[in-house]
Amino acid sequence: MDAIEAAFADGPAFVPYLAAGDPDYDASLEYVAALARGGADVIELGLPFSEPVAEGPTIQAAVNRSLDAGMTPDRFFAFVEELDVDVPLVCMTYYNLIYRYGGEDAERPRAFVERAAAAGIEGFVVPDLPAEEADPLREACDEFGCDLVFIVAPTTQGERLDRIMARVSGYVYVQARLGVTGAKADVSTQTGQSLDRLAEWGVPKAVGFGISSGEQAGEVVAAGADGVIVGSALVDIVAEGHEAGDDAATVAERLETKARELKEGAVAGAQRTPRPERT
Amino acid sequence: MPAIEELTDAYERYVLRNEEGFMDEFRERLREFGGRPTPLQHAERLSERYDTEVYLKREDLLHGGAHKLNNALGQVLLAKYMDKERIVAETGAGQHGTATAMAAAHLDMPCEVYMGETDINRQRPNVFRMRLNGADVTPVTAGRGTLKEAINETMRDWATTVENTHYVLGSVVGPHPFPVMVRDFQAVISEEARRQVREQTGELPDSVLACAGGGSNTMGAFAAFLDDEDVSLHAVEAGGSSLAVDEERGVAPNSASLSTGNEGVLHGARTRLLQDDDGQILESHSVSAGLDYAGVGPELAHLVESGRVRAVNVDDDAALAAFHRLSSTEGIIPALESAHALAYLERVAGPSSPATEGSSGEPRDEAHDDLGDIVIVNVSGRGDKDLETVIEETDRREIPEAPEMDVFTEGL
């Protein structure tokens, strides 16, 4: 739990996402390492599920490339073990893969969390798991020292917000706008309002959905975010390199450059609006 | 999903407590616009053939030609009461999309329907009908382009537009309150059937048969009989071409999630799913687009687990044979979905086919006895939409009940 908290302690955190194994296992290892070199503070690693309902076209395609290349939960854990990065890793996936892990007789969802924690995963984001159904996973996370991150939409309110607050740890994923993942040209004006609603929460607020440039990362941080989450803009770089047939080293370099731009943008945003110290 | 809380609140107020006379208006519109009640027809030739009194609940005679209108009308009306401005829906066979498009036109709401490309190609008449009713039909190309992918895409749309849009989910699946709400709207089928069978025979039926894909007509046909413990309830699934999973292609060539699936979580519900060992959802298959889904309603899954409902299945060939049999013997062209329920009747009680034939074998006598003397089969929809599929599929198989297909295929 401490690793993720620590990652948010020194100024705004840059939290990139990539689908593990996209477009293939070996290239993906290089890409994740490139994000770490580019300044990632936490990395969200997608464990591909066949029904990615929270994702827009970019990440859907990434998930399919990874699945087609043979990604499975066990290969994902091997992937995490093989990664040589000094950054906390969060597993982003859908609940059925967590629920089914270990087969019919496994203790669910504990078996998955135990294996993930052993591989080096520090936390989980599960977009299709509502807080109402999250207690078994929350308990397993507590047992193995992992965080459970929840996504808060601009429309989340009332009791639902309270239920999430009671169960979230690591950071809260603040959805910048309604809908599914995907890079957008502008950052939603809803972000500031969303952050205000969570002002009292005792976890860092990381904003995602639609951020694709250093400038936008800066805007989000200036609006009060403790971190920025970027997925589709990075997955686009992977997809374009894959389609053009570029070698993995070249694509990795582009990812590192983009990561640096986003991290620097976030830091610049923090300088524009000095943050009150978090207690 | 905050929309879920808002919807739960609306469901409890308007459907359960009839606030503002919602349920009165719903029933009135089902009568006036929908043509309810539908008949419970005694099927003479089938009764003779199976040596038992067979009654057909004629949901094919509901406006639009399928039970789907019950739910679509209920939900579009509910969306009105919730002050929503737009309707989205998914559709497999197109029956739900058609019903939603009709209900939306009737209640003056803009409507967008997501439909898998495979299903668009095999259900063109319904695509035309949706468009004629003013709906936009958006093709979904992901995966095999069937119902599962259409649901994914509709959920994505809804997540983006939830503030002004209601998602009219087409079956007893998805997150709460959809499964119970859709069941409540469909329960009119068994409420009527229960009353009608008593009026006509003085008794309750011994068994009720309904096909099961997602399970909306199934739950609708069973709901009012659940407490009648002497009435046995049979959910007939699509056994497709085989009950075994094609490991290499990652495909289940069937849609029999009750019979062969495992517990899992999909589209916001914990239920039985066709999935691989890792929990990845398998592509399903059925000759009937309306049954072609890897999941099933959670309540139906629970009723099967508790033993109240028996899950059985028949394969594509048996369903096609039943389609032709009902068409030629009773003058009713059933939906391929409903043909599955009729095929089960043939399997356990038919004069020529032993019960061991087909997918899940049971000694014939025992199964026949289990059906009893009065059997209701839910004819969930009419088969006009399936004619192209039936002609094509019959032509490439040997279906003894079918007429010669040459006359149809010459011009193709």
């409507």: which residue's tokens? B111
Count of C-beta atoms within a 10 Å radius of residue B172: 30
- Token pair for residue A196? 């205000």
Q: Note the pLDDT tens digit of each residue in A22-58.
A: 999 999 999 999 999 999 999 999 999 999 999 999 9
Average pLDDT of span A216-223: 95
CA dist A60 → A151, A276, B310, B355, B361 (Å)? 18, 38, 37, 44, 41
| pLDDT beyond 50 at A279 | no
Say whether A97 and B268 touch across the interface (CB within 8 A): no
Contact A209, A176 (CB under 8 A): yes
Give the C-alpha separation, B134 to B212, whole Å.
29
Q: Is B380 a catalytic residue?
A: yes
Please tell me which residue, B411 or A220, carries the higher pLDDT value: A220
Asked if A54 and B159 come within 8 Å (Cβ–Cβ), the reply is: yes
A190 has a chain B CB within 8 A of its CB = no
| Cα Dmax for chain B | 57
> In this predicted structure, what is the pLDDT of residue B352?
61
**pLDDT at residue number B363:** 52
For residues A168-174, average pLDDT = 97
Could you tell me which of B165, B162, B86 has the C-alpha nearest to residue A154?
B162
CA dihedral angle for residue B176, residue B178, residue B181, residue B184, rounded to 10 degrees: -110
Contact present, B33 and B63 (Cβ < 8 Å) = yes
pLDDT (0 to 100) of residue B93: 87
Contact residues, B window 276-335, toward A, CB-based 8 Å cutoff: 277-281
User: What residues have CB less than 8 Å from B338, skipping those under 6 apart?
Assistant: B60, B211, B377, B378, B379, B380, B381, B383
**pLDDT grade for A113, boundaries at 50, 70 and 90:** very high
CB atoms within 10 A of CB A247: 10
Instruction: Write the pLDDT tens digit of every residue in A178-215.
Output: 888 888 877 777 888 889 999 999 999 999 999 999 99
Sheet holding B207-212, edge to edge: B40-42, B53-58, B374-379, B207-212, B232-240, B309-315
Interatomic CA distance for residues B110 and B102, integer angstroms: 11
Residue A227's pLDDT is what?
Answer: 97
For residues B139 and B70, what is the distance between their CA atoms, to the nearest angstrom? 25
Tokens of B344: 């089960």
pLDDT in tens, B152-192: 999 999 999 999 999 999 999 999 999 999 999 999 999 99
Amino acid A276: pLDDT: 57
Note whether A51 contacts B266, CB cutoff 8 Å. Answer: yes
The kind and range of the H/E element at B2 are helix B2-10
pTM: predicted TM-score of the whole model, two decimal places: 0.94
Which of A49, A100, A156 comes nearest B2 by C-beta? A156
pLDDT (tens digit, 9 = 90+) per residue, B281-340? Answer: 999 999 998 999 999 999 999 999 999 999 999 999 999 999 999 999 999 999 999 999
- For chain B, what percentages of helix, strand and coil (3-state, to nearest 5) are there? 50, 20, 35
Q: Residue B207 catalytic?
A: no
List the single residue in B2, B152, B278 with the smallest CB-CB distance to A73.
Answer: B278
Cβ–Cβ < 8 Å for B338, B46 = no
A180: which chain B residues are within 8 Å (Cβ-Cβ)?
156, 159-160
What is the ipTM metric for this complex?
0.94
> Tokens at residue A143, please?
């047992």
Q: Which residues of chain B fall short of a pLDDT of 50?
A: 355-361
Asked, as a colleague might, if the bond just before A276 is cis with ω within 30 of 0, I would say no
Alpha helices, DSSP H only, in B51-202? 68-81, 95-106, 117-122, 124-132, 147-161, 178-186, 188-201
Q: Per DSSP, which regions of A78-200 are E strands?
A: 89-92, 121-125, 147-149, 151-152, 172-175
Place of tokens 């990395």: A43
The conformation of residue A172, written as its DSSP 8-state character, comes to: E
Cβ distance A67 to B280 less than 8 Å, yes or no, reads yes
Q: Which of B1, B175, B279 sits opposite A99 (nearest CB)?
A: B279
- Does B2 sit within 8 Å of A96, measured CB to CB? no
Burial of B376 (C-beta count, 10 Å sphere; 0-12/13-18/19+): buried
Instruction: State the nearest Cα–Cα gap between B157 and chain A, in angstroms.
Output: 7
Q: Which residues of A touch B150 (CB under 8 A)?
A: none
Picking from B184, B175, B256, B176, the residue whose alpha carbon sits closest to that of residue B214 is B256
Note whether B172 and B299 are within 8 A (CB).
yes
pLDDT tens sequence across B58-67: 999 999 999 9
